[in-house]
Amino acid sequence: MADTLPILPLSAKVTALRGVGPVYATAFQEAGIETLRDLLWSLPYRYVDRGSVRPIGELDRWHNHATDRDLTTVIGTLKAIRQTTTRMQRMALVEAVVEDGTGSLRLVWFNQAYLTRVLRAGDRVLLFGNLALGRHGLEMRGPSVEVLGRGEEGEEDLWVRRFLPLYRKLGPILGRTRGRMVQDVLRRLHPPQDWLPSDLAKGLPSTMDALIRLHQPLDDSDPGDLEAGTTPGHRRLASEELFAFALGVALRRAGRLKRRGLVVPTSEALREKLRAYLPFHLTGAQRTAFKEIVGDLTSGGVMNRLLQGDVGSGKTLVAFLSMAMVAETGGQAALLAPTEVLARQHALTFQRLLGEESPRLQVLLGAMKAAEKRQAQARIASGEAHYVVGTHALFQESVSFDRLQLVVVDEQHRFGVKQREALKGKGGDPHWLVMSATPIPRSLALAVFGDLDQSVLDELPPGRQPITTRLFDPDDAERAWDLVERQLDAGHQAFVVSPAIDPQDETKVPLRDIQAMEGLLRGRFPGVSIAVVHGRLKTDELTLRMQAFVKGEARLLLATTVIEVGVDVPNASVMVVDHAERFGLSQLHQLRGRVGRGTARSHFLMISGSETERLKALVETQDGFRIAQRDLELRGPGEFFGTRQSGLPQFQVADLVRDRALLAKCREAADRTLAHGLSEAQMAWLRQEQARLRLAEIS
Ligand code: ADP
Ligand code: MG
């Protein structure tokens, strides 16, 4: 039968498949599956190793040895299924029995009444879940369930194999239905072309073979590799995605290098001038980074550089020097900060650095009065202002520059490639320096900022006070407050951070909110002036309260993470973070960087009753790059950036953490490929892949 059906290309629509009508088509579309290519690249979410399926008759014995977390798999036939309601809480309760010839097992699900519609007595099912001892003996509670066969239509051909691929249910499309479609497509598919250069493809199966192996794993596949997504088949598809990605980045970069940029004329006089601005000796890392920037600014190309470094490594000074290169040779340079508070702080720093030349600086903030703003804009447009500091928002308004030659973005991860492109319109083709607030692990930096050159500040300025980091159980929090009291008594200031309250996120864990914390602090530290800041305050009010703390009028600052963006208060010597488990490691490390900026020994205290293993990473190291890597491994790229970051590629198979070595290889291969020039066909393939991975357009 299958042999007589037409051969299908990857680009065929899923609607070309038998059985895919409008309802299925919509369900597929909602999951982003329109073509056979989309269908095949949506890999099974699990592979059941039949070798690990347990006979029901042996479960009793096995359960005695298993720990709570051990999940088990059984396969059998459903004997009975019915729905009742629990007496106490009036919840839907679905009960069933499964039999496999060695014994039978009771199954229970709460609040999943729909199961009675999708499961029938007589179904051959695979169950995956936790065993528990109930009133009726051993039972499985809330297992995930897959129907393997019903009546005549079994999965005989799949069933003789060792590994059984499982697919997620998409609306009305059951996993096994999807599986059957995939098998059908694989039999009829016109083998796709292999796009990998031969050096990358070495030792890997062809694309077609990879697809077959991923949807029908060979019996001798390694179960661990299948689970981890590291079989040769996975590597093939991941390499293709990463290669397409790397090639796009390489093309963008090559395009940029061809553009002509302004050449900053250097001279002994300029060097003298810069030296005069410097309040202290640069660290070795600052010197290296600045040299790289000077190299860019004098190269004739357009600078596009990422400056990253640990909290407190002195990025601002490097940014200032770069801006001075331009501003002291007749150009204008602008610094964009992510918040008004931070913009004001940068302006203050610049004022100090510029000394009596500070009138050359112009600040531009959204909160300014209309008249004030107009005046500022006029000074920028006329070229009177050589140094400009403002927030992102302003640069989206109608601000024009006389001769903008350098833009520094204090990034905070909120700026994707697209926004950068949009800003380019502001003044010809200025040089770009992007500063990242926290260290970004290398693989992720390559993924998000791959088209930028990189400078890294991996050294802290001398004289930094060590920060003692400690983790307290909530029952033990009094010891943390004692420490705060001692610091306040010694004349220092203190930060207390409360997690932001997200109404969507009302979990079972009772959360102490910022009001409750304020109450606690006022009771615990009577007579101490406390400033409370959170995201719901108006900008003016927020700035006012923040300034009170910066000036020392408020001794204790209670805040949600708004302070993360970088207040510099050297007199603050202690920070307490409540519910530390709510924060990412990098975020905590960033917060920790707010103390230890003065001459006093400083303390970073976390209060948390859970996830203590994870949080211990902060106690163990102060190295922001190591913490960032750990954070990335634990939470994945999306969460690492805190938001669904624009510009993060949407890989279907590749994983930036798992495949980082592969990415490095693909980048090298991309450079080599580009050196030979791309064929029309390669270019067409690349465009398609870029669209599929939702990468920024290649020009
Ligand atoms: P970050 O990299 O976190 O933005 P900053 O630029 O805010 O760090 O610098 C942190 C602190 O270190 C600032 O108070 C700054 O004045 C100081 N600093 C920067 N460079 C040096 C240096 N070379 N020597 C001494 N202190 C420095
Ligand atoms: Mg900074």
SS3 393: helix
pLDDT on residue 694: 72
Torsion angle, alpha carbons of 609, 611, 615, 617, to 10: 140
Select the CATH number that applies to the domain covering 268-457 from these four: 3.40.50.300, 3.30.470.30, 3.30.1860.10, 3.40.50.10150. 3.40.50.300
Ligand 1 mean position, distance from CA 64 (Å): 58
Copy the structure tokens of residue 563.
Answer: 């302070």
* Residue showing tokens 């969507």: 504
Query: At 384, phi and psi to the nearest 5?
Result: -60, -40
The CATH homologous superfamily of the domain defined by 56-161: Nucleic acid-binding proteins (2.40.50.140)
Copy the structure tokens of residue 395.
Answer: 């640069």
Q: Amino acid letter at 238?
A: A
Q: Is 205 a residue whose pLDDT tops 90?
A: yes
Q: Using a 6 Å cutoff on CB, does residue 543 contact ligand 1?
A: no
Ligand 1 mean position, distance from CA 376 (Å): 28
| pLDDT-above-70 percentage for the chain | 90
Q: Is 699 a residue whose pLDDT tops 60?
A: no
Residue pLDDT, tens place only, 674-693: 999 899 999 999 998 888 87
* Residue showing tokens 């205290």: 605
C-alpha to C-alpha distance for 7 and 186, rounded to whole angstroms: 10
- Using CA atoms, how far residue 507 sits from 74, 111, 587, 649, in Å, is 32, 18, 21, 31
Mean pLDDT for 636-650 is 65
Please provide the average confidence, as pLDDT, over all residues in the chain.
86
Ligand 1 mean position, distance from CA 446 (Å): 26
Cβ atoms 623, 313 nearer than 8 A = no
Q: Is 347 a residue whose pLDDT tops 80?
A: yes
Q: How confident is the model at residue 469 (pLDDT cuts 50, 70, 90)?
A: very high
Ligand 2 mean position, distance from CA 348 (Å): 13
Atom of ligand 1 nearest to the CA of 315: 2
State which of 283, 290, 313, 316 you would mutate to test the pocket of ligand 1, scoring each by most atoms of that ligand within 8 A of its C-beta: 316
Domain ranges in the chain with CATH number 2.40.50.140: 56-161
Distance from CA of residue 510 to its chain's centroid? 27
Between 23 and 4, the higher pLDDT residue: 23
C-alpha to C-alpha distance for 627 and 613, rounded to whole angstroms: 13
pLDDT on residue 24: 95
- Ligand 1, atom 1, lies closest to the CA of 312
Cβ atoms 498, 561 nearer than 8 A = no
Residue list, CB under 5 A from ion ligand 2? 566
State which of 317, 457, 563 you would mutate to test the pocket of ligand 1, scoring each by most atoms of that ligand within 8 A of its C-beta: 317
Q: Is 322 a residue whose pLDDT tops 90?
A: yes
- Ligand 1, atom 12, lies closest to the CA of 314
Between 694 and 202, the higher pLDDT residue: 202
Number of Cβ within 10 Å of residue 681's Cβ equals 10
Q: How confident is the model at residue 63 (pLDDT cuts 50, 70, 90)?
A: confident
C-alpha to C-alpha distance for 341 and 319, rounded to whole angstroms: 18
- Ligand 1, atom 26, lies closest to the CA of 461
* Residue showing tokens 């599929």: 692
Instruction: Tell the burial category of 685 from Cβ atoms under 10 Å away from its Cβ (0-12, 13-18, 19+).
Output: middle
pLDDT on residue 2: 46
Residue pLDDT, tens place only, 43-57: 999 898 877 888 999
Q: Is 442 a residue whose pLDDT tops 80?
A: no
Q: Which ligand is nearest to the CA of 570?
A: 1
pLDDT on residue 662: 92
Pairing of strands 602-607, 572-577: parallel
pLDDT on residue 154: 52
pLDDT on residue 565: 55
C-alpha to C-alpha distance for 642 and 639, rounded to whole angstroms: 5
Number of Cβ within 10 Å of residue 487's Cβ equals 23
C-alpha to C-alpha distance for 71 and 60, rounded to whole angstroms: 14
Highest-pLDDT range among 24-33, 124-133, 394-403, 426-435 = 24-33
Strand boundaries in 354-430, DSSP class E:
361-364, 387-391, 404-410
Between 493 and 696, the higher pLDDT residue: 493
Ligand 2 mean position, distance from CA 626 (Å): 19
Task: Return all residues near 277 (Cβ < 8 A) that are at least 6 apart.
Answer: 320, 321, 324, 353, 354, 355
- DSSP assignment of 321-355 equals HHHHHHHTTT-EEEEEESSHHHHHHHHHHHHHHHG
Atom of ligand 1 nearest to the CA of 280: 24
Ligand 1 mean position, distance from CA 89 (Å): 59
Q: Using a 6 Å cutoff on CB, does residue 282 contact ligand 1?
A: yes
Q: Using a 6 Å cutoff on CB, does residue 280 contact ligand 1?
A: yes
Ligand 2 mean position, distance from CA 434 (Å): 12
Between 516 and 487, the higher pLDDT residue: 487
Ligand 1 mean position, distance from CA 286 (Å): 10
Q: Which ligand is nearest to the CA of 350?
A: 1
- Ligand 1, atom 23, lies closest to the CA of 282
For CA atoms 680, 684, 687, 693, give the dihedral sign: negative
C-alpha to C-alpha distance for 120 and 98, rounded to whole angstroms: 11
Ligand 2 mean position, distance from CA 349 (Å): 11
Cβ atoms 436, 650 nearer than 8 A = no
Ligand 2 mean position, distance from CA 602 (Å): 19
Q: Using a 6 Å cutoff on CB, does residue 315 contact ligand 1?
A: yes
Atom of ligand 1 nearest to the CA of 349: 16
The pTM of the full predicted model, rounded to 2 decimals, is 0.73
pLDDT on residue 99: 94
Q: Using a 6 Å cutoff on CB, does residue 283 contact ligand 1?
A: yes
Copy the structure tokens of residue 653.
Answer: 């198979």
Q: How confident is the model at residue 70 (pLDDT cuts 50, 70, 90)?
A: low
Residue pLDDT, tens place only, 136-193: 888 998 888 888 877 655 555 455 578 889 899 899 998 888 988 999 999 999 999 9
Domain ranges in the chain with CATH number 3.40.50.300: 268-457, 467-621
Q: In what order do the strands lie in the sheet with 493-497?
A: 467-472, 602-607, 572-577, 493-497, 556-559, 530-533
C-alpha to C-alpha distance for 232 and 210, rounded to whole angstroms: 7
Copy the structure tokens of residue 574.
Answer: 């202690």
Helices (H), 13-166: 22-30, 36-41, 59-65, 115-118, 156-159
Atom of ligand 1 nearest to the CA of 311: 3
Mean pLDDT for 189-207 is 93
Residue 433 belongs to what H/E stretch? strand 431-436
Q: Using a 6 Å cutoff on CB, does residue 289 contact ligand 1?
A: no
Strand boundaries in 442-571, DSSP class E:
453-457, 467-472, 493-497, 530-533, 556-559
Cβ atoms 358, 387 nearer than 8 A = no
Pairing of strands 493-497, 572-577: parallel
Ligand 1 mean position, distance from CA 295 (Å): 23
pLDDT on residue 48: 84
Q: Is 544 a residue whose pLDDT tops 80?
A: yes
pLDDT on residue 29: 94
Which of 208-222, 472-486, 639-653 has the weakest average pLDDT? 639-653
Q: Is 110 a residue whose pLDDT tops 80?
A: yes
Task: Return all residues near 237 (Cβ < 8 A) that are at least 6 apart.
Answer: 41, 207, 210, 211, 214, 652, 653, 654
C-alpha to C-alpha distance for 578 and 562, rounded to whole angstroms: 15
DSSP letter at 50 equals G
- Three-state SS string over 652-680 comes to CCCCCCCCHHHHHHHHHHHHHHHHHCCCH
Residue pLDDT, tens place only, 297-317: 999 888 989 999 988 899 999
The CATH homologous superfamily of the domain defined by 467-621: P-loop containing nucleotide triphosphate hydrolases (3.40.50.300)
- DSSP assignment of 452-483 equals SEEEEE--PPTTPPPEEEEEE-GGGHHHHHHH
Angle at alpha carbon of residue 509, lines to 506 and 510, rounded to 5°: 80
SS3 143: strand
Q: How confident is the model at residue 450 (pLDDT cuts 50, 70, 90)?
A: confident
Residue pLDDT, tens place only, 236-280: 999 999 999 999 888 888 887 788 888 999 999 999 999 999 999
